[in-house]
Amino acid sequence: MKKLLCVLLICVMGMVPALAENPDTGSWSQINQAVGKGEGWTKLETDDTFRLGEKKPLEGYDDLFIGDWGTYPSMDGSTVCVPMAMELARQWLGLEEGDMNGFVTFSTTPYAYDRLTQGKANPLVTIKSQGVMMDDTHPIDLVLATYPNADERQAAADAGVELVYVPFCCDAFVFMVNELNPVDSLTVAQIQEIYMGQHATWADFGGTSQALTAYQRPHGSGSQTAMEEMVMQGLKIQKVEENYVSDGMADAVAQIGNYDNGIGAIGYSYLYYVNTLVESGGIKVLAIDGVSPTAENLQSGAYPFTVNYYAVYRKGDANTEAFVNWLVGEEGQKAVAQAGYVPLK
């Protein structure tokens, strides 16, 4: 077993640079913009409340180690929350930027909730500069994510696991169209009608006679859950062919921004993702009921599709609860803002 672990660790440490540059799995496959410290970044935390435990050397190796999670929670989550996890690692662990792609390895929303509910670990978490592979038997402690869908909530209930959901920031669930589309705003009712298949062209909304193409996301993704539960509110979404279901949020942005095929397209995502994590040229974000998704409109709730991202943990986990309490407190909310999100207040 030890020999197998050694081989695995060596392989993983060798894989990390490739994952950082050209990942093809998990959340990093949906991020194509540099994610680093913002200008004027400040270290807010200097105590040792949440720290990794001791690392243990692998027998026969001088520079390879297995890391203990200590009091720092093991995490997984949604793609849109990757920069938040990076900021937390900067604040509490002082990790180098070059270590972030190996340490923050989010598997996306449905897989993260499955791991939390089933008590699974997040494997292959590394700190490359230190030659460390984190203990892959330690179950996930904390998920940073969009709200789970009904199936994911039921899976937790079936497993007898009570989850605690704590909002830690505001964002906007937004609808995107091509920048050449003259339509700038739609109502909630119009959005619902489009996705029920009741409109064929943009002329119905003061646009051109261009055919309307409505892209969706796969069931179980964070954005599809928001679409089904917050936007449609029980109304049935029209079933479409597979090529109109975007595999990832980066795909949705690219399909709408494509000048050859995207002029009549509409799709949805999260504002933070569109503004921060993916190259989003060629698109524009619509106002809803005439209200734009500004920070002020998110904090006040004026924007109709204001959402939160949640810190989710198993009830009874006192250490993770304390970490989440810090996150929603004064210093934690400064870290939220520093990572580019909209704080709760």
Look at the domain 46-168+308-338 and name its fold.
Answer: D-Maltodextrin-Binding Protein; domain 2 (3.40.190)
pLDDT tens string 20-57: 333 346 889 889 889 988 889 999 988 899 999 999 99
The secondary structure of 161-179 as a DSSP string is --EEEEEEEEEEEEEEEET
Q: What are the extents of the domains in the chain?
A: 46-168+308-338, 171-306
Instruction: Flag whether pLDDT at 254 surpasses 90.
Output: no
The rounded distance, in Å, linking the Cα atoms of 171 and 28 is 20
Tens of pLDDT along 232-251? 999 999 998 888 898 777 88
For the chain, the average pLDDT equals 90
CATH code, residues 171-306: 3.40.190.10
Task: For 248-289, give the DSSP string.
Answer: SHHHHHHHHH-TTT-TTEEEEEEHHIIIIIS--TTEEEPEET
Structure token pair of residue 178: 């091509």
Model pLDDT, residue 222:
84
Task: For residues 121 and 294, give the distance between their C-alpha atoms in angstroms, rounded to a whole number.
Answer: 37
Mean pLDDT is lowest, of 13-17, 101-105, 210-214, 282-286, for 13-17
Does residue 5 carry a pLDDT above 70?
no
CATH fold match for the domains 46-168+308-338 and 171-306:
yes
Q: What percent of the chain has pLDDT over 90?
A: 76
For residue 321, give the H/E element and its range. Answer: helix 318-327
Residues forming beta bridges with residue 268, ordered by sequence position = 175
* Encoded tokens for 323: 């970490």
Judge whether residue 333 has pLDDT over 50.
yes
Q: Within 13 A of 161's CA, how many CA atoms are on the CB side?
A: 22
Number of residues that make up the chain: 345
- The tens digit of pLDDT for each residue in 158-203 reads 999 999 999 999 999 999 999 999 999 999 999 999 999 999 999 9
Does residue 212 have a pLDDT over 90? yes
- Is the separation of the CB atoms in 133 and 274 below 8 Å? no
In terms of phi and psi (left: phi > 0; alpha: psi -120 to 50; beta: otherwise), the region of 250 is alpha
Structure letter (DSSP) for residue 25 = S
CB count within 10 Å of CB 248 equals 20
Instruction: Name which of 88-92, 276-280, 331-335 the model is least confident about.
Output: 276-280
The pLDDT tens digits for 98-115 are: 999 999 999 999 999 999
Which tokens go with 134? 């984190």
